[in-house]
Amino acid sequence: MKKLKNKDLQRINIEAFKSAEKTPITIVLDNVRSAINVGSVFRTSDAFLIENIILCGITATPPNKEIRKAALGSTDSVKWEYIKNTTDAVKQLIKDGYHVVGIEQADKSTQLNEFELPKKPIAIILGNEVNGVDQQAIDLCNEVIEIPQFGTKHSLNIAVTSGIIIWDLWKKLNT
């Protein structure tokens, strides 16, 4: 077995990425404090051809040195926009026909492994590292997904959470 070099991976360029068919998922970042976490979400979104990222509230926006460290150029490939108020973003997504899903621990949440794909595009909301997704945004969601956890801690880092959720949804959409 030989480790591959970047030139061996045959990745698409930014222009090909922009014209490629996207995975019908929009990511909403609700007041995410860490620009490094934002950059990580961009990088994961690039890896899975996510259609859009909406940055809300205090969430840092490109260009930003900390985002750039983790994103490694993916802010140039992944479409993104800034909307100040998360609930305004969610209301627009609902109006546009998205199935909006909060990623949060909540009563009546659906465990990720039990989540069934809707027959429309999905928007997932990832929340603040301390307070999670704002309750006003949760109130607007069609559904809330929770990642099963079995240890002593009650949460995962947002970068890890986004990777788990995006991978799981991508698999479900592509099988």
Which residue bears the tokens 């945004």? 137
pLDDT tens track for 92-137: 999 999 999 999 999 999 999 999 999 999 999 999 999 999 999 9
What is the pTM assigned to this prediction?
A: 0.95
pLDDT tens track for 13-39: 999 999 999 999 999 999 999 999 999
- CATH code: domain 33-173 is 3.40.1280.10
Sequence-distant (6+) residues with CB within 8 A of 86 are 28, 30, 31, 56, 57, 125, 134, 136, 137
pLDDT tens track for 33-68: 999 999 999 999 999 999 999 999 999 999 999 999
Strand stretches in the chain, DSSP E: 23-30, 50-56, 80-83, 99-103, 110-111, 122-126, 143-146
What pairs with residue 126 in β-bridges? 29
Q: What is the dihedral of CA 35, 38, 39, 41, to 10 degrees?
A: 160
Name the residue ranges covered by the structural domains of the chain.
33-173
